[in-house]
Structure 1
């Protein structure tokens, strides 16, 4: 499969039966596709990529003031080699932000995922970043809600079938990403699936993103103006496995080239439980249940499904903010299937 054969879906085509059929095929057979005519034009995308480059060019001391270690909500800056995927360190530098909310007091926590709720960390050295990224977050949220509703129609259910899980505003998580050049191909980010409903990726002109297809890893080469969309674990659950969250990874660039991208993840409210959609019989017959993986169980409780990845990916933040007695108790209760040392090797609940 090459760039031309990876499905290309036009948002404007999704008012027709043929367009919905193409979307259903792309989402169920590939799990990854390019989205065009989405409303975020190429010039605006280049503006945001320029902001991304500018952020990572800030002095290290400025970025360290908003290091994620300071955030129990997993927001802020990650230096090179501080995030883990599939048990190995990733060769990328990042800035994460989510919904801007007030944190709950410790005595208000009833579930460990509630500690994800909180404010973002913004760099004082770059005041333009907060309003710019807040606007991007809203734009991408609108795109994903629209696309989710079209996907529901493509699955033969009401376009609003999952709206109740979103509430007034879906849970969103986004990140600016820099993949610095390496001497040889390395794990920019390891093979993984995304925990939410949908992911949008805005790429620069450098390749590196790969999707697992059968026993092969297929390049997802950049197409100017197109966003890359992938299906997340919550849609695999909601469709009882008719849609599949697809493994993907990024290989580090070489030859002095850097790769920049922006990833946007949309999920249901953290408090929601994902329902199984009443698919029509012809699709239900092809829905053979979600993937079974003891190393990555898919959880219908949205907050836990999101939190499991955060805990594993950022062990330093986990050790600092999730290892007190109350949090260990809540984690052990919510993640009974997961050996505690997999969450934090210093915890023994």
Structure 2
């Protein structure tokens, strides 16, 4: 006899009740739940591949930036970054200029925010992704088909920078300082990426491709059923460049040659990845790559701090597309031009996904 699926489950009702509670997944974890709510459970076709193991024990490329200003050695660094951006879309950088004590205290400040009493955190819980400072669970909670097991804080740093006084004191100084350090790293890496394309070092910055900066502090608490959900659903980043630092709890995986590769935490390193917009602007020379975070099965929380560099959102009439300098008769444009509004609307019309914007812009070629 056929089993008829129940139609009584009201997913959106349960999602909104969770959102209205403002407790986040940390609150669920702290309550001692042994079964995660249904709206976190991945569909069967995803569960069957959730446990895909890494085939590459070496992990993503590691690039040393210590000789960045050496005329003799810089070309080799440019070559390494170009190759990593072209084949992996991800790489780790060491000797990048951010002191270890800054990394550690910033990670601790984000952890401290998330581990405050619930009633204090709840004052900042809002479903508004454009407010200066936001605390919530899943930025796409009301848009995605399946939620993932993490909470986050967002702080807009540019161009509509949040007033420092509106960032909670527990992480205020650290977030502002982190932005200053990581902006410097982002600009250095952007120069190397520009040179890797054969363009002037300042090209990405001058074109406004680093014109928007957002910091996210993500908290992945213990999950009682990590085999049923993700810490963060598989996706590509929509912007230009992303720089991430994490504590020593594993979970990040990158898709490479059809397999999921574990990104092993390397103390003191920063992780850099290419966004969809840079794949388009580089005319496919650089690749945005699908990545995900496994649900945390450890009692120790996983903490990551992510800074997104993206298009200058105030420039509403500017058309973006592949750099003209990269186009030839033999290498025509792979993608059409687009306005910022199209870029923005594509991201905020749905949950996290992989390369939907890149696919929309592809120009058919025989």
Instruction: Judge same fold: TM > 0.5, yes or no.
Output: yes
Is residue 96 of structure 1 aligned with residue 154 of structure 2? yes
Contiguous gaps of at least 5 residues in structure 1: 102-116, 291-297, 315-336, 338-349
Shift in Å at residue 170 of structure 1? Answer: 1.9
Aligned pair count reads 290
Is residue 142 of structure 1 aligned with residue 200 of structure 2? no
Correspondence for 1:28 among 86, 95, 104: 86
Correspondence for 2:270 among 227, 239, 249: 227
Note the alpha carbon deviations across 1:160-202, whole angstroms, 9 max, x for none: 22233328x7201111111111123221111111111110110
1:307-326 alignment runs, 5 A limit:
307-313=345-351
CA contact (8 A) 1:76 1:121 kept: no
1:44-83 alignment runs, 5 A limit:
44-69=102-127, 72-73=130-131, 75-79=133-137, 83=141
What RMSD, in angstroms, separates the aligned Cα atoms of the two structures? 3.0
Q: Report the CA distance shift for 1:205/1:3 in structure 2 as closer, same or farther (over 3 A).
A: farther
Contiguous gaps of at least 5 residues in structure 2: 1-54, 353-359, 361-366
Residue 294 of structure 2 corresponds to 251
CA contact (8 A) 1:208 1:219 kept: yes
Correspondence for 1:177 among 212, 218, 223: 218
- Structure-2-length-normalised TM-score: 0.70
Is residue 39 of structure 1 aligned with residue 81 of structure 2? no
Is residue 163 of structure 1 aligned with residue 205 of structure 2? yes
Is residue 269 of structure 1 aligned with residue 312 of structure 2? yes
Residue 195 of structure 1 corresponds to 238
| Partners of 2:143 and 2:268 in 1: CA distance | 28
Q: Report the CA distance shift for 1:311/1:28 in structure 2 as closer, same or farther (over 3 A).
A: same
Larger radius of gyration: 2
Shift in Å at residue 63 of structure 1? Answer: 1.3
Shift in Å at residue 255 of structure 1? Answer: 3.9
Shift in Å at residue 118 of structure 1? Answer: 6.9
- DSSP 3-state at the match of 2:283: coil
Note the alpha carbon deviations across 1:119-171, whole angstroms, 9 max, x for none: 469767x424223212211221221122111110111111122233328x720
Q: Report the CA distance shift for 1:32/1:71 in structure 2 as closer, same or farther (over 3 A).
A: closer
| Partners of 2:113 and 2:325 in 1: CA distance | 45
Is residue 10 of structure 1 aligned with residue 64 of structure 2? yes
